[in-house]
Every structure is written in structure tokens, then in C-alpha cells.
Structure 1
Amino acid sequence: MNHPPRRSTSADRPPLQSKRLLDQLRERIRYLHYSLKTEEAYLFWSRAYIRFHGVRHPKDMGAAEVEAFLTHLTNVRRVSVSTHKQALSALLFLYREVIGVDLPWMNEMARPTAPRRIPSVLTIDEVAAVLSRMEGETGLLARLLYGTGMRLMEGLRLRVKDLDIPRKVITVREAKGGKDRVVMLPQVLATPMSAQLDKAHAIWAADRAAQQSGVETPHALDRKYPRAGQTWAWFWVFPSPTLATDPRSGVIRRHHLYEQRLQRALKLAVTEAGIAKPVSVHTLRHSFATHLLQGGTDIRTVQELLGHSDVSTTMIYTHVLKIAAGTTRSPLDALLAA
């Protein structure tokens, strides 16, 4: 959800139409195509910053006020490193993209570093135990995420046009960092995914018959091709069973499956399987990477499948394997064997 502050030039920065500051912030965020979650976060932290300083306008404040606010978050509210970074990113965006002030001190602002955590990983048997307790759409989605290494929202936002069942290929569009990548479609999921497409097509056909608005399309595609969102190619592979109001446009349309449905189903399956480890949907992605490396897949291939920009990010899974593989022997074992 965190986007690095983007420097704009006068050429790609149109005049703001809104009069109120937070409306201007929202306008700029949408112009730069940031996600709804990023919009909500940036609005939240900008509002919190303004209220913290007695509803003063940010243009009348500077380094001292920003540092005081961030220090308060760290020392009083004790927010996490990721939350601190998110608040700082929001303020950087507010000053640079909305107020139009790029102050030198903002580039020198201290950024906390998060400690490197070893990810929680399930064994192959534990994955099997969890997946065997999941059925229906959530079960299929969990298998897809484990079988491809996709993130939760990448799986939920999968479009029909990006699923190539005959070639066993999935194209992940605009993933983290705005990059596209290609992942494999597991052979065992070819038939279940075909059945899922049949279910999705029935929903799409019903929406068209009812003349419902088309699904959301990225960026300005709906202006260039107004009917693109109504086509089968752009429909969700995992559509929501109900219609909902788009929070930005106010249009009532079909969204993808709600993420908490999978989160709840996975949590229940983990409990039923008697697994005491901390497990989230992202654990399936961690397990995918670890099991590939364990099976002999080279780390560069795993890096590409995960969409990591730097191989050092992928290297964290090798630390899990070193101990799990039993290659490092405890001195206690040697002592007792003597």
C-alpha cells in the first residue's frame, strides 16, 4: 500500500480544481492512480497531522512540526515502523504533490528501519492439512495463492483475460511496484479454474441482462473505452456474489470477492488442523517460495515468480531452509551422541 513519494514536474502536474486542502489531496492521489487504500491512509495521516497542530494549515508549518508529529507517533502512540513510514510518506506527498513545496529537510528526514523478520512457513504436510479443510471459492483461491505465490489482492483482482488455462499461465497485472509478471497455473487447478470461469460467466451474463454497470477498470481506460468494463475479458475471475457501491465514483457495480472471506476461511481451517503457528494468507506465499527452494528451484526463478525487485528479499527464505533442512547440527546432539 505504501507508494514512494513521486516527484512531479509542471508538465505532468495539472492545476488542482478543488478548493479545500484534503479534497486537493484526494484529487492528486487519484490523478496519480494510487490505490483506494493508499488514498484512505494518506487522508488519515494528513488529517491527523493537521489536528495534532491545532488545525494549522500545513503550508504554515515545516520541519519542526513534521518531526514533532512523527516523534509523537513513535514515543507516545508507539506505532510500528511500517506505520511510521506510511505517515511520513503521506506528509511527503502532501507537501510535494499538493502544496507544491519540496523542502530540502524532507529528503533528510530520518526514516526508521524495520527489523528483518523470519517469515512463518508451513510444512508441506501442514499446507495439505489446511487446504483439505477449505472448500468452494475460498478453497480454490487458497490453493491458487499457494500454487502460484500470488499475493491476496493479486488473486482477487485476477481478470478473465489474464488467465490462460490451455497454456497454464497467469499474468499478474500491476502488482506491487506497478510491475507485471507471469506465474504458472498449477496443472491440478486447470479443471477447477475452468469451472470457476463458468460460474463467473453466469454472473457476468446476469449483470449484462440486468444492464448493471461494468466492473472497475484501471486508470482512464473507462474514458478511452467506455464499454471495456462490461466485457467478459475484463470481468473478475472471483466476482463478489453481491453488488456494491464504488466508494470513489458512487457507481453500483460488481466488485471482486471480499478479502476477509478468505481470511476468515483460512483462520478456521488452521484452527481445525491444530496448527499453532501464526498463519495468514501471506503465509501461503511464504510457503510457496520455501517449498520451491526446498525442491531445488534456483533462487532467481523464485525471485521472478514472487515479483521481488531485489534478490536479497528472496534470500530470506534461504535462512528458513538452512535450519529446517537439518544441515546445521546442534552441539547438544553431538554431546549426547558421544
Structure 2
Amino acid sequence: MTTTPIDGNVEQMMANYASRAADATKILMKREIATVLAELRRKAARSKSTRMNLVIFRLAACGGLRASEIAQLQLGDVRLELPRPHLRIRASASKGGRPRMVPLWWDRGTFDDLVAWRDDRLARGAKKADPFVCSWRTDREKMVFSRHTLRKRFRTACKVLGPERLKTLTIHHGRHTFISHALAGGRTLAEVRDAAGHSNVSITSIYLHVAVEEEGLGSLFG
């Protein structure tokens, strides 16, 4: 079969994307996730700001949300009472205008942390249309965080990994982490494609052979 110039361009773009996505520095290893979560939980009991960073880390690295999607996530989009709890990413908030559902039944730790945060928001009088992640200051609880603020908070959440590792991380690497660990943990290509909102399964398959820990493969995020 002859490859047209357009097909060749698409193939080259996919190859470039694959090389970036498969770069081990673009994901957090299982031990790194465990280190970050342990440190955030240790400090969260006495720091509301750290609790917020824990939720942002969970949404990015354990849910695959982009910064813009975290910013637009509303309290009513976090559906935790259903048999299969999930996050609803509305068409108006997603890249490409495609709505999707992000499963929360894949990882108990993520589910528990989001339940605790949701319950606190409701106890403070938050409504379904209010931002899920917002300032604890009463006068700012309805303000949507900027992507810049979310990027900074994600990096702050990862500070325990040290300055050199921090230089290599952005909040979008949380998305790479989610996809890689979900596939390594046994979720199917179709499941992860839908959760990540990829337009086709070939994009998702790029992550199939990304190592998520130094020895063997483990279960999602812990």
C-alpha cells in the first residue's frame, strides 16, 4: 500500500508523540507515587492547603485530568454514590469538546481521598455547580483556579521527590502517569482510552510498554 504525504505526516506525528509519552521521565514510578501520597497524607491533617494539593495530585496522577479539566470540575461532576463512582468531564470542560467518564472504582485510595474532600465541601455549604477544587477562604470558594495555580500546586505536592526530579515534572505528567499505571494494572485499552478521552485506541496503546516501577508491574496507584 502506498503511503500518501498526509499519511506520512500523521505517522511521523504519532511516532513523535510515542517517543515523548514512552519517556520514563514523563511518568511517576509506583514508589514515587507512594512517597508523594504518604507525605501529603502526613501533612494533610494539619494543613488545609496540603489537603487541597492531595486532591489535585489525585485528580491529575490518579485520574488523568488535564489542568483545565481540574479547574472546570464541579462538585456535581463527582459522582460517588453510584455503583460505579466516577468523575464526569463535561463537553464544555474537555479537550476537543468530548464528554467522558473517569472511573473512580479502579483505585480505592483515590476514591477515599475524593470522598473526604467532597464531604468537607458539602459541610461548608458548597453547591453542585461550585468548583470541586477551590480556595478554603470563604470569599473565594466560588472562584475557579487558574491552570497556572494548579500547575504550581501539583509541583508543590511533588516536592518530597527532591529538586532534581521536580525539574522534570509538570501537571500534565500526571496524565501520562494515570494512563501508564492503568494499563500496567490490567485495565483494557478500550477502558483507558475512554477514561483518558483519547480519540482512538492507537494513542492509548503508545503507553502499553511504559515501565511503571523498577521491578515488575503493580496495581494502579496504592
User: 2:8 matched to which residue of 1?
Assistant: none
Paired amino acid for 1:146: A
Q: Which residue among 264, 282, 286 is the counterpart of 2:176?
A: 286
Partners in 2 of 1:122 and 1:203 — Cα distance? 33
Superposed counterparts of 1:118-267, under 5 Å: 118-119=20-21, 120-134=26-40, 135-167=50-82, 168-174=85-91, 175-185=94-104, 186-201=107-122, 204=125, 232-240=127-135, 241=137, 254-267=142-155
Taking structure 1 as reference, are residues 143 and 285 closer, same or farther at Cα in structure 2, changes over 3 Å only? same
CA offsets 1:235-283 (integer angstroms, 9 cap, x no match) = 2111344757xxxxxxxx9322343344223324434323744111111
Taking structure 1 as reference, are residues 176 and 325 closer, same or farther at Cα in structure 2, changes over 3 Å only? farther
SS at match of 2:142: strand
CA offsets 1:40-61 (integer angstroms, 9 cap, x no match) = xxxxxxxxxxxxxxxxxxxxxx
**TM-score, L = length of structure 2:** 0.67
Superposed counterparts of 1:47-62, under 5 Å: none
Q: After alignment, is 278-287 or 263-272 more displaced?
A: 263-272
Partners in 2 of 1:191 and 1:307 — Cα distance? 24
SS at match of 2:175: helix
Q: Which residue among 308, 312, 315 is the counterpart of 2:198?
A: 308
Partners in 2 of 1:269 and 1:199 — Cα distance? 20
CA offsets 1:63-109 (integer angstroms, 9 cap, x no match) = xxxxxxxxxxxxxxxxxxxxxxxxxxxxxxxxxxxxxxxxxxxxxxx
Partners in 2 of 1:243 and 1:311 — Cα distance? 44
Partners in 1 of 2:129 and 2:160 — Cα distance? 37
Partners in 1 of 2:103 and 2:191 — Cα distance? 12
Taking structure 1 as reference, are residues 202 and 257 closer, same or farther at Cα in structure 2, changes over 3 Å only? farther
Superposed counterparts of 1:37-48, under 5 Å: none
SS at match of 2:158: helix
CA offset at residue 125 of structure 1?
Answer: 0.6
Paired amino acid for 2:29: T
SS at match of 1:254: coil
User: 1:7 matched to which residue of 2?
Assistant: none
Partners in 2 of 1:261 and 1:321 — Cα distance? 30
Kindly indicate whether structure 1 or structure 2 has the higher relative contact order, using CA contacts under 8 Å at least 6 residues apart: 2
Taking structure 1 as reference, are residues 190 and 318 closer, same or farther at Cα in structure 2, changes over 3 Å only? closer
CA offset at residue 312 of structure 1?
Answer: 2.2
Taking structure 1 as reference, are residues 180 and 194 closer, same or farther at Cα in structure 2, changes over 3 Å only? same
User: 1:330 matched to which residue of 2?
Assistant: none
**TM-score, L = length of structure 1:** 0.46
How many residue pairs end up in the alignment?
A: 182
5+ residue gaps, structure 2: 1-11, 41-49, 217-222
Paired amino acid for 2:87: I
- State which structure, 1 or 2, has the greater radius of gyration over its C-alpha atoms: 1
CA contact (8 A) 1:236 1:256 kept: yes
5+ residue gaps, structure 1: 1-112, 206-231, 245-252, 327-338
CA contact (8 A) 2:75 2:128 kept: yes
Taking structure 1 as reference, are residues 270 and 234 closer, same or farther at Cα in structure 2, changes over 3 Å only? closer
CA offsets 1:180-238 (integer angstroms, 9 cap, x no match) = 11111243344433332344346556xxxxxxxxxxxxxxxxxxxxxxxxxx2212111
Partners in 2 of 1:308 and 1:197 — Cα distance? 27
Taking structure 1 as reference, are residues 196 and 321 closer, same or farther at Cα in structure 2, changes over 3 Å only? closer
